[in-house]
Amino acid sequence: MNQTSMVGGPRVLAFGNNLCGNLQHGGPPILKKPTEVKYECDTVEWASWTCTIGRDPLQIWGSDPLILNDIPAKISLAHTAKRVIGFDQPAAFLLKDGRVQHKQGRVSADAYDEVVVTGLGTVYACKSTYNSRRLSITMQDDQLFRFESLEDLMQGTNRFGLVEGFPHCATTKQLVATESRAFILVNGPAPLLYEIKDVRSLPPKSTKSTDPVILQYVTGFEVAGKLALVPGCGNRLGVVTELGEAYILPPTRERELILFDDEDVRLMGLGVDSEIVVTDRNIYVRGSSECTSTSGS
């Protein structure tokens, strides 16, 4: 799903798998070409193969227990939502005040800056605290947590403690997750990308670490400008750089650079065995998909 701007307001264009009505309510199972979809919301906040959530106002359409009688529904929360937490389906909402509201209505006691959940249910959360030190200097302490489940986060049950090696930087951070992988992006003059690895998912004897989670620095993006992370299917992560380059980070192979001559990549989406890439001139589809490539300005 792609959002473009125009005089009179934004336009939302959708194409791809619409089996659950997640792109266009009442539309065909597959949108083979970019199709404008219209809802009351102004932007797309979150999307999966089951449903889509728009913002201003917060609204959901597709297939989800929050939707009654197959009709797009508005979502009521205790406070404004900062982001949607979920993988295939929304599980909770990170509120503007940092607390987490479960889709059933419960609100966590603790507050966080970022929260994500993998497809396996593991939850990662980070937050910054500011402590006054000697000479009246305020220092930022950045903390990364791992929870076995969203329920553990809601109850404040953390059996793993802090994840060691988390970078202490006075800048914004972004967490994203796939089926079993998670990444954290530290934004700044030189963006820093780390993969958060669950030791249990690694091959036996592949690491000597006694910690349940390790941070692995992903090299090669320090001079790429601002980065946009695109969590995809098949445990793959997409990275779109400010320079107009696109990369795919698969779980078991080296990264792949996607190039289209002198065209700059603006957006991308990753299916299980297909990719959709939007450049400044065209839309390309590669792999197993019934969508068609389109040209445009």
pTM here is: 0.85
Tell me if 57 is assigned to some domain.
yes
DSSP-assigned beta bridge partners for residue 174: 185
Pairing of strands 282-287, 294-295: antiparallel
pLDDT digits (tens, 9 = 90+) for 254-272: 899 988 888 999 999 888 8
Tell me if 5 is assigned to some domain.
yes
Main-chain dihedrals φ then ψ at residue 281, nearest 5 degrees: -130, -35
State how many domains the chain has.
Answer: 1
As a whole number, mean pLDDT of residues 121-144 equals 68
Query: Is residue 199 helix, strand or coil?
Result: helix
- Give the tokens for residue 184: 């954290």
Tell me if 41 is assigned to some domain.
yes
- Quick one: how far is CA 171 from the chain centroid? 19
As a whole number, mean pLDDT of residues 69-78 equals 88
Tell me if 33 is assigned to some domain.
yes
Tell me if 218 is assigned to some domain.
no
User: Which phi-psi region, left, alpha or beta, contains residue 210 (left: φ > 0; alpha: ψ -120 to 50)?
Assistant: alpha
Tell me if 40 is assigned to some domain.
yes
If we measure between CA atoms, which residue out of 28, 67, 35, 40 comes closest to residue 51? 67
Tell me if 251 is assigned to some domain.
no
Full domain range(s) for residue 37 = 1-76
Is residue 215 pLDDT above 90, yes or no?
Answer: no
Is residue 135 pLDDT above 50, yes or no?
Answer: no
Tell me if 130 is assigned to some domain.
no
What pLDDT is attached to residue 237? 96
pLDDT digits (tens, 9 = 90+) for 163-203: 877 766 656 789 999 998 999 998 877 888 999 987 776 66
